[in-house]
Chain A
Amino acid sequence: MNTNNNNAVEVHNLEKRFGSFTAVSRISFHVAPGRVFGFLGPNGAGKSTTIKILCGILSPTSGTGTVGGFDILTQQDKIKQNIGYMSQRFSLYEDLTVEENINFYAGIYELSREKKRTRKEWIIHMAGLEGLRSSLTRTLSAGWKQRLALGCAIIHEPSIIFLDEPTSGVDPISRGNFWDLIRTMAEKGTTVFVTTHYMDEAEHCDSLALIYKGAIIAKGTPHELKTNFMKGDVLKISLPDSQQGLERLAALPIISESALFGSDIHAVVSNATTASPLIRQFLDQHTVTGYTINEIEPSLEDVFVSLIENYDRENTKNEPDKS
């Protein structure tokens, strides 16, 4: 379609229906090249469906878009040559060895003999699989499988990588290493499109879109989301018995939402300066001692919980007969 667009990924009013179920409902967004774009949302929100459309695996019901400048409706073959896709199941051939899996994808992407050799060494080194070249893939741990799957998906050095829940089922240390890897690739100019439902991982992204029930309900950088989309301030309340405290504070009308984060309570109020004294007074009345109240920048989780709750409230209000 338009040839002068510089975005790595761009979609307009993309929609995908399966029968009467709308998996993705008229979403639009764009991703600049060399950025890490996080596509966030709970399970079943439409993340995987969107990623499959972008990779040319599924056809959209309606809408337009480009990936790497190629049309997602007509140039799927071109797209497939320029992207790497890693599905959430680390789909490697478990009955093949590490090296055989790499050889297979090297053949699929038609790498030259020389290229194949250097890329293979790079993958084995990147994934820390030295000494495991001839091990059957099924014997590897999840972290190894994840990195090998990533290596196979990007063996042809694509300019755009799609990662569908790349860290699910992987231990925290492997997750950390994996994100370091993603950041390194982005610094070298690769565009990374990643879906996740881990909010802490979202902080690693340059920009984010939150998808919920098939619709994008918020877009922006992590900082923008925290400052623009949060209706109200967040207070962190630390007190000796946080469980009991949470129950008591729920009775206060000035607190619109409250939830436990570790041993602290995060309470959403419309204005931190006016609410703090009232909460202090309330706690003093209930003879609670040893507490602290601080205003904090909301975490992405706070933002998303609040956005999703707003979305549900509005949609049940607008369509009362549907619930």
Chain B
Amino acid sequence: MNLTRVKALTKKEFIQVARDYRSLTLAVAIPVLLLILFGFALSLDVDNVPLAIWDQDKTQTSADFIWKFQGSRYFKVVGYFDNYKQLEEMIDRNQALMAMVIDTNFSELIQSSQPAPVQLLVDGSDSNTATIALGYASAVVSGYNAKFLLQAFSKSGIPEPAMIDVRPRVWFNQDLRSRNYIIPGLIAVIIMIIAALLTSLTVARERERGTMEQLISTPVKAGEIILGKFIPYFIIGLIDQLIAVAMAQFVYHVPFRGNLALLFLCSALFLTGSLALGMLISITAKNQLMASQLAMLVTFLPGFLLSGFAWAISNMPPAIQAITHAVPARYFINILRGIYLKGVGIKVLSLYIFMLVFFTVIMVALANKNFKKKVS
């Protein structure tokens, strides 16, 4: 390794990156865009379920019951209707996710202490949201029932029966905001995509333009070329990381409970591995087009789907779960969430950190080996 040569290579690479303003814009715009899109748009929270109501009873009792829904933050009554056709239309037009039909004898049945049926129509096309909305609805109803039961007991003078009183306390993400869960994971996805995308072009471009042939006729070593290309992109990656952390802090107010130094150390590790992966792709691919497509395929799909970034790995079938162990982003996401939300340190995260070291070492070794092989 010769420092003068590495310096010359790094300087050249910096000039090229700085002059390629399209890539540079991309390097900053992609992370910001992803953060805005996913931070604001990808909310797994189900709030304000639009609810359409057909109250056939129209009594004080039914109004009380409806109020239970309207009063909760989970439902928003979007209108009162008086036939199925209208309810259907509301659901068809996505103006209501749920419709509730209260029968004409609702209050009569309640007053005579008989079970009063209430019909709920749910748009199940988004099964996840529908399940959550149904859960909310039954929670509201059982709350109503419990209160009703207690009233009945106290009216008849029977002492209140013992009931289980659950007192849940949510840790780490008290408000259960899915954003707190998604944003730290998104940092991993951004680093992986940017790193692989930017570096995937560098070697392929030099080969396509013939400058690689010129370069390898000089005393330059493979490791020096790789290091020279690595340094500028590493700095860009760190800048992206800074943007992401700053946006998490100041735009999304994601709580940060851990050690910032540890966060950046792990990020640097993951960034190194991802850059080496991009370089490996660039070395193996025949041309720039193939390289960028390969980079997208190798980073985007696993990064989004198999890393546990938004969709829990524990819900996946066993075969897919096994595959996720080979996705390095998975470990980095666990580290990020651990540091961000749980404030845990190196001791708890040691296994994940070890996996990142493993990934990085393998990638750097592969890139170096393949480069040497390709050159000779």
Whether B213 pairs with A91 at a CB distance below 8 angstroms is yes
Taking A59-B376, A110-B5 as contacts, is the C-beta distance between A87 and B12 under 8 angstroms? no
Interfacial residues of chain A within 81-121, with CB under 8 A of chain B in the complex: 81, 83, 85-87, 89, 91-96, 100, 103-110
Query: Is A55 an interface residue, CB under 8 A from the partner?
Result: yes
Whether A87 pairs with B4 at a CB distance below 8 angstroms is no
| Bound CA span A57–B372, Å | 11
Contacts of B9 in A (CB 8 A): 104, 107-108
- How many residues in A have their beta carbons less than 8 Å from beta carbons of B? 29
Taking A80-B219, A85-B217, A110-B2 as contacts, is the C-beta distance between A103 and B211 under 8 angstroms? no
Contacts of A100 in B (CB 8 A): 12, 15
Contacts of B210 in A (CB 8 A): 87, 89, 91
Contacts of A103 in B (CB 8 A): 8, 11
Contacts of B19 in A (CB 8 A): 95
**Chain A residue, CB-CB nearest to B6:** A107
Contacts of B209 in A (CB 8 A): 89, 91, 94
Whether A107 pairs with B7 at a CB distance below 8 angstroms is yes
Query: Is B156 an interface residue, CB under 8 A from the partner?
Result: no
Taking A59-B376, A107-B8, A107-B11 as contacts, is the C-beta distance between A95 and B20 under 8 angstroms? yes
| Bound CA span A11–B24, Å | 48
Partner of A80, one of B2, B16, B213, B217: B217
**Chain A residue, CB-CB nearest to B3:** A110
The minimal Cβ–Cβ distance linking A6 to chain B, given in whole angstroms, is 24
Query: Is B220 an interface residue, CB under 8 A from the partner?
Result: yes
Contacts of A80 in B (CB 8 A): 217-219
| Bound CA span A81–B5, Å | 13
Query: Is A314 an interface residue, CB under 8 A from the partner?
Result: no
| Bound CA span A247–B80, Å | 101
Query: Is A77 an interface residue, CB under 8 A from the partner?
Result: yes
| Bound CA span A56–B217, Å | 7
**Chain A residue, CB-CB nearest to B2:** A110
The minimal Cβ–Cβ distance linking A13 to chain B, given in whole angstroms, is 21
Contacts of A94 in B (CB 8 A): 209
Query: Is B297 an interface residue, CB under 8 A from the partner?
Result: no
Taking A57-B213, A59-B376, A93-B211 as contacts, is the C-beta distance between A108 and B218 under 8 angstroms? yes
| Bound CA span A263–B2, Å | 59
The minimal Cβ–Cβ distance linking B259 to chain A, given in whole angstroms, is 39
| Bound CA span A96–B4, Å | 19
Whether A109 pairs with B219 at a CB distance below 8 angstroms is yes
Taking A91-B211, A92-B211 as contacts, is the C-beta distance between A57 and B7 under 8 angstroms? no
Contacts of A107 in B (CB 8 A): 4-5, 7-9, 11
Contacts of B218 in A (CB 8 A): 80, 105, 108-109
Q: Give 29 A-B contacts (CB < 8 Å), ordered by A residue.
A: A55-B217, A56-B217, A57-B216, A59-B376, A80-B217, A80-B219, A86-B214, A87-B217, A89-B210, A89-B213, A91-B211, A91-B214, A92-B214, A95-B15, A95-B16, A95-B19, A95-B20, A96-B12, A96-B15, A103-B11, A104-B8, A104-B11, A104-B12, A106-B8, A107-B4, A107-B7, A108-B9, A108-B220, A109-B219
Beyond the given pairs A93-B211, A107-B9, A108-B9, 4 more chain A to chain B contacts, judged by CB atoms under 8 angstroms and listed by A's residue number, are: A57-B375, A80-B218, A106-B8, A108-B5
